[in-house]
Structure 1
Amino acid sequence: MLDHVYFKIGVNTLPAQGELSVLFSGQAKPLPSHQIGPAVHDYYLVHTVMSGYGTFEIEGKRYDCKQGDTFIIFPEVLFTYAADRTSPWSYRWVAFKGPLAQPLLGRIGITPSEPVVCVRNLRTVTRLYRDLERAFQGSDYPELSDLEASGLLRLLLKEFGSDNTEKLAFDTLETVPDIERQIQQAIRLLSLQYAQPVSIEDLSRTLGYHRMHLSRMFKQATGLSPMKFLLKIRMERAVDLLTGSSHLSIDHIASSIGYADPSYFSKQFRKCFGVSPTEYRLNQQMLCPAHNHS
């Protein structure tokens, strides 16, 4: 690049058509007063200033940028950026697209009206950019490079979010009372760990609350005791497995949802639905005979 002191780029030769896809990453030091735009891109493009100075303009607003400042170009939004005439910036960048890009940036407070973040941990961000650039250089396995780049981009966005906490667009943990946060944690634990042997004592110990207090607060939040909530999750999963196309045996379904004893599982299922798991499956097959042959 004749208008740069140096210019390096790594291109993703096999970008996935997923929710967040890295296109390319690189670094450059343009000559004094070098300018890009006014123009538009059809992808997101992030620049982090490594040294020097420059300006960034978007939606009629101008931002004076220095080391650590990160500015984001949005698809189809008119922009201009230019290096300072006496102390031109150097920067690293990454381009990406995908349906998750806009909502994810919005959640960390980055929008066309708030397009600049000041990075505090420049060393970490520089390392992530460096790894992104290297991921696309000389790899024999472009599929693996794409996976690596997606992970690095998410880590990079996490750093931007950490430096932009006053603009985060979702509830932070600090705004939620401790007991409410612990109840949410209990709900997540039971919803994810239903296949494991779980007791209220284990749950209370994990969350640091007395079992009676936790049970009372849990029921106040959900309308169910922790163990009845766990039973509900297990029975819903049992129904999914009985009506799905997996054709698992009743023993296998029982162990999949946290019951070592299939007979006890069948007893609990009958209490909830009035029929045994086998009868429930047969009834569903009679209601949907085509499903039985799928």
Structure 2
Amino acid sequence: MKTVKRRDGFAGQQLISLPDAVWKNAIKANTVLSQLYITHIGYFPKAAFHFRDRKNGCTDNILIYCTGGKGWYEIGNRRFEVGVNEFVIIPATSSHLRYGSDDHHPWTIYWVHFSGKDMDTFNRNFNIGPFDGPRHIHANENGIELWNDMFQSLKMGFGKDNLGKASLYLYHFIATFVYPDKVSGEQDAINDRINETIRYMQQQVASTLTVEDLARKIDLSPSHFSSLFKKATGMSPLNYFIHLKLQKACLLLYTTDMKIKDVAVAIGYDDPFHFSRLFKKSMEVSPERYRGLRRKGNI
């Protein structure tokens, strides 16, 4: 029986891909973000038959950290094996690039695609080359914590504060691999009440909520709540809620074949035309076009 290779769809996987428009708009607001930013981030546990074949290489750097099983990658005509507690940073390249899990002992990997305005200089200064091969590292708990911080920041929405936070975490995350003995595990404190509200928004993404509903949830007046929320996130509560709805729509468009009207209903919009206009205004592409982008290379 022929084995079917696949690029994703593994039990327990976590995956976020950011549309180009998200970073384009964020960089307009804060040009510092152009230095280094996440384009895709994921976790694939026991990724049996994982395989990617990038004939034209990849425009991003790819960091893969293997915490279980085995895998491999090929760039040009060179092949490398990757084992437990080994990582590789594959620099952006136009060379043919392939990678995948071992057939008998599939790898478990944390991975991040990242890019920036001058990756050639970045890679040169940090001695990242295409044929460096994997490097061993002691169990990188700090790195995994920071991966979770990046993922949770982006999962909370694509607002400017979350993108900025994820971008700063990315520097620290990379440092845990490049300079494993020179980083600390300290993290910023989180505003519990705002975080609780955001989690509630995520749970109610198919509903209609008012500022009064959200303020009542954490025992604040609507005006005080709105002021605190905007100070913490840079967005009004309702705009943030819309942002979470659209992020959920992105996920459904990326991972399912649901009809556009059904995606709209799933995030609380009965009118698919209103949803499409809102989506295009925010993401700069239509829902149909965004869905087409998922056919392009993601890990």
TM-score, length basis structure 2? 0.49
Q: What's the counterpart of residue 10 of structure 2? A: 4
- What is the deviation of 1:81? 0.9
Does the 8 A contact of 1:118 with 1:163 survive in 2?
no
Partner residue in 2 for 1:56: 73
Per-residue deviation, 1:38: 4.4
Residue 84 of structure 1 and its aligned partner are, at CA, apart by 0.9
Correspondence list, 1:96-111, <5 A: 96-111=114-129
Q: Give the percent of matched residue pairs that are identical in Structure 1 and Structure 2.
A: 16
1:142 and 1:115 mapped to 2: Cα distance?
36
Q: Matches of 1:154 and 1:61 in 2, distance apart?
A: 29
1:12 touches 1:142 (CA, 8 Å); kept in 2?
no
Give the paired residue count: 164
Distance 1:132 1:5, change over 3 A: same
Ranges in structure 2 where 5+ consecutive residues have no aligned partner: 1-6, 28-33, 183-299
- 2:173 aligns to what? 156
Name the structure 2 match of 1:68. 85
- SS of match in other structure, 1:77: coil
Query: 1:76-225 to 2 correspondence within 5 Å?
Result: 76-139=94-157, 142-163=159-180
User: 1:245-266 CA distances to partner (integer Å, 9 max, x unpaired)?
Assistant: xxxxxxxxxxxxxxxxxxxxxx
Structure 1: tracts of 5 or more residues without a match: 166-294
SS state of the match for residue 37, structure 1? strand
Cα distance in 2 for partners of 1:2, 1:37 equals: 13
Does the 8 A contact of 1:20 with 1:96 survive in 2?
A: yes
Alpha-carbon deviations, 1:86-143, whole Å to 9, x = none?
A: 110010111111124332233222111215332224111111111111111133x610
Q: Which structure is larger by alpha-carbon Rg, 1 or 2? A: 1
Please say which of residues 115-124 and 39-48 is displaced more in the overlay.
115-124
| 1:71/1:115 contact within 8 Å kept | yes
Change (3 A) 1:4 1:54: same
Q: Secondary structure at the match of 1:47?
A: strand
Tell me which amino acid in the other structure corresponds to 1:112: P
Contact 2:37 2:167 in 1 (8 A): yes
Q: What amino acid is the match of 2:42?
A: G
What is the CA-CA distance between 1:164 and the residue it aligns to?
10
**Structure 1's 53 and 164: CA in aligned 2 closer, same or farther, altered over 3 A?**
farther
**How high is the TM-score relative to the length of structure 1?**
0.50
CA shift at 1:76, angstroms?
2.0
Whether the 8 Å contact between 1:136 and 1:145 is mirrored in structure 2 is yes
In the superposition, relative to structure 1, how do residues 2 and 70 fare at CA in structure 2: closer, same or farther (>3 Å)? closer
Q: 1:51, CA displacement in angstroms?
A: 0.9
Residue by residue, what CA displacement relative to the aligned partner does 1:17-57 show, whole Å, maximum 9, x if unpaired?
A: 41212112111135433321143222222111121111111
- 1:9 is paired with a residue whose SS is strand
CA distance in 2, matches of 1:61, 1:27: 25
Cα 1:109–1:120 shift into 2, 3 Å: farther
- In the alignment, residue 41 of structure 1 is paired with which amino acid? C
2:81–2:134 Cα contact (<8 Å) kept: no
Q: Give the SS at the match of 2:117.
A: coil
Match of 2:39 among 8, 12, 23: 23
Distance 1:150 1:56 in 2: 26
For the 8 Å contact 1:58–1:80, the answer to whether it is kept is yes
